[in-house]
Structure 1
């Protein structure tokens, strides 16, 4: 399977769709409830849920939308990896790895605020990687700020990603105070509109705006299955990280910076796990995108033909067992 996705052919989109359906089809057979709601959800997500609830949408439609969103995210991130040449040759390994890693936790396959936030974060990552090549970056920097503002209004702990954007400006661009001010203006823009809507609707409440969260250590995995899932995320990530580090001297400067951004992306996402992430693994989904890139690097760089295939089928087999037998 890794050999198939190592090629860049248009037919791989269909193969990826079938691959994803095999992994997640039990969700369609046993749809469990509607969208997830947590104390960390912010105004935009709560507002969206308040619109959807009166419609009494069948749970299977939420499952369908979640699958299509995950599939779209996989294709979008795969295209970004190919455009930015994160791997030496274009392929579909990032998309495959994304569909596979998002099958390792049941919470990652439900409609949730982190799921929606991931779509924006993938696009934000792409815009950040293109900053060095833009002659007039003001519009792009402002757009990145607006999107980060939207992400924080979907999920409160995502305010940590504001630091990621500022670090990206520091890495990708020469320091210009004007650009940083433009970015901060973009971040606050969604809050201006939200404050205006609340004020004009006579619903003003400061607690609806401020991204309050607390810092606490993540819960120790309560299930052996969660421990195995975490292990199957971490081990391929470490292997992929080793190969990326070994090949840095062969990469263009902008590719090295993109990998550095992915590592910073992962660090910020891990901080969110401690930012009032609760006892479940919903917030952990924000780690899926950067981890996926390193998983794809593992499948690509390992010289042996059998080893990546064995690693893939071990993870795939466990994901099938988790989704069809355990039925989280």
Structure 2
């Protein structure tokens, strides 16, 4: 399977769809309504309130969640290929994303973290191309604007403002003007929200201010969760080892993109301790950066046996999570 996705073949888009359906069909058999959490912010709450009177069956939300995951896999795979994150184009990132997101049942439910993952992939792509941008001001503002929308969907995502500022530090020369443009972009959606609240006589500072508190994340509640976390961490370490060994062969822009992914992962882990809660939904924000390192763990080993064994172990566990734990 890893050999198939290691090739750049347009037919792999269809193969990836079939691969995702096999992995996640068990979860589609047990559909769930959209998740509501205390950390959800204005835009996501508004979306759920808009959809609630339609009384859509849970299977519709599960199908939407599946196609969001599939589109994110394709999108991030394309970003990795365009940015030449590995020596040659492939579909391993798309495969790894669908595989990783099958390790936790909550990651396949319609939720705010699932929605904003699409926007975070777009943000990562836009900041990774700032290195060669001649007119970065508009691009930085647009990235900040999308980041502001992300924070209005999920309150702990305000921590990702750090990611934007660190991205500018890594990809651009230090210019205070560009940092201020980024901050202006992040705050712009809040200006419009304030206007809407004021005109509708619902003005309140609490509706604008993210409610953030830091606490320890939920400890693994079962052996199943512990195994899933282990299968996330070990391939990440292996992939990180291979990336480190091949950094000297990469262009400087590619090295910077890998650095961005590492910052992305660190900030995502901060989200886990910001209103961590008692479930693993917000851990989904770590899936995108982990995917790239998992893909590297499948791509770089010289032999075929090790990537195949690692893939089928994770695949078998994901099938167990998707089918048997839902019964």
Q: TM-score, normalised on structure 1?
A: 0.99
Structure 2: unaligned runs, 5 residues or longer? none
- After TM superposition, list the pairs within 5 Å mapping 1:109-188 onto structure 2: 109-188=108-187
**C-alpha distance in 2, partners of 1:138/1:259?**
23
Moved over 3 A (4+): none
How far apart, CA to CA, are the structure 2 residues paired with 1:166 and 1:220? 31
2:240 equivalent in structure 1: 241
Following superposition, the deviation at residue 208 of structure 1 comes to 1.1
The answer to whether the 8 A contact 2:218-2:276 is kept is no
2:27–2:105 Cα contact (<8 Å) kept:
no
Alignment partners' CA distance in 1, 2:86 and 2:128: 14
1:98–1:292 contact (8 Å) kept in structure 2: yes
Residue in 2 that maps onto 1:24: 24
The alignment partner of 1:247 has SS state of helix
* Counterpart Cα distance in 1 of 2:228 and 2:71: 23
Alignment of 1:281 onto 2:254: no
* Matches of 1:65 and 1:48, distance apart in 2: 14
Determine if the alignment matches structure 1 residue 13 to structure 2 residue 41: no
Q: What does the per-residue CA deviation read over 1:61-107, in whole Å, with 9 as the maximum and x for residues that have no partner?
A: 10110000100000000000000000010000000000000000001
Report the equivalent of 2:316: 317
Whole-Å separation in 1 of the counterparts to 2:114 and 2:65: 8
Are 1:169 and 1:180, in contact at CA under 8 Å, matched by a contact in 2? yes
The aligned residue for residue 60 of structure 1 is 59
CA contact (8 A) 1:138 1:182 kept: yes
Q: Which residue of 1 aligns with 2:195?
A: 196
Check if 1:4 corresponds to 2:4.
Answer: yes
Secondary structure of 2:264's match?
A: helix
1:101-150 C-alpha deviation (Å, 9 max, x unpaired): 00000010000000011011000000000001111111100000001101
Residue 107 of structure 1: aligned partner: 106
Q: Report the alpha carbon displacement of residue 314 of structure 1 after superposing the two structures with TM.
A: 0.3
* Alpha-carbon distance in structure 1 between the residues aligned to 2:38 and 2:31: 23
Partners in 1 of 2:201 and 2:282 — Cα distance?
Answer: 32
Q: Counterpart of 1:7 in 2: which secondary structure?
A: coil
What is the TM-score with the length of structure 2 in the denominator?
A: 0.99
Cα drift, residue 27 of structure 1: 2.1
Q: Provide Cα deviations, 1:183-230, integer angstroms capped at 9, x if missing partner.
A: 111000000000000000011121111112110111210111000000
Assess if the C-alpha contact under 8 Å between 2:34 and 2:110 holds in 1: yes
What are the Cα deviations for residues 3-34 of structure 1, in whole angstroms up to 9, with x where unaligned? 000000110000000000000011222213x1
